[in-house]
Amino acid sequence: MSKPPVIFSIGWNACINCGACVAICPQEAGFISPFDTIAVDRPCDIACLLCEQICPVDTIDHVVAPPPETALT
């Protein structure tokens, strides 16, 4: 069974922009924020959480993404 998608948040005051989260991320190229960190504006469907584990300042967190909107037909 796969993990539910998550949305990451980053403590911007603590982030040192080391790039470790982007380097270890198995997501497709381009899953980054405007600040060269992992994306924080869209769900991660892999949800491996490797970025949280590798962050040297422990400033990456996540919440389970809300279910996608379903179209009413």
Per residue in 44-71, pLDDT tens? Answer: 999 999 999 999 999 999 999 998 776 5
Residue 70 belongs to some domain of the structure: no
The pLDDT of residue 29 = 85
Residue 36 belongs to some domain of the structure: yes
User: Whose structure tokens read 């584990």?
Assistant: 53
Residue 30 belongs to some domain of the structure: yes
Looking at the structure of the chain, the number of domains it has is: 1
Q: Are 14 and 47 in contact (CB under 8 A)?
A: no
Q: Are 12 and 34 in contact (CB under 8 A)?
A: no
Task: Tell me the C-alpha to C-alpha distance, in Å, between residue 7 and each of 39, 41, 46, 72.
Answer: 8, 7, 11, 25
Residue 5 belongs to some domain of the structure: no
Q: Which domain covers residue 31, as residue numbers?
A: 12-50
Residue 45 belongs to some domain of the structure: yes
Predicted confidence (pLDDT) at residue 73 exceeds the cutoff of 60: no
Q: State the DSSP H helix or E strand holding residue 21, giving kind and residue range, or none if neither.
A: helix 20-24
Residue 29 belongs to some domain of the structure: yes
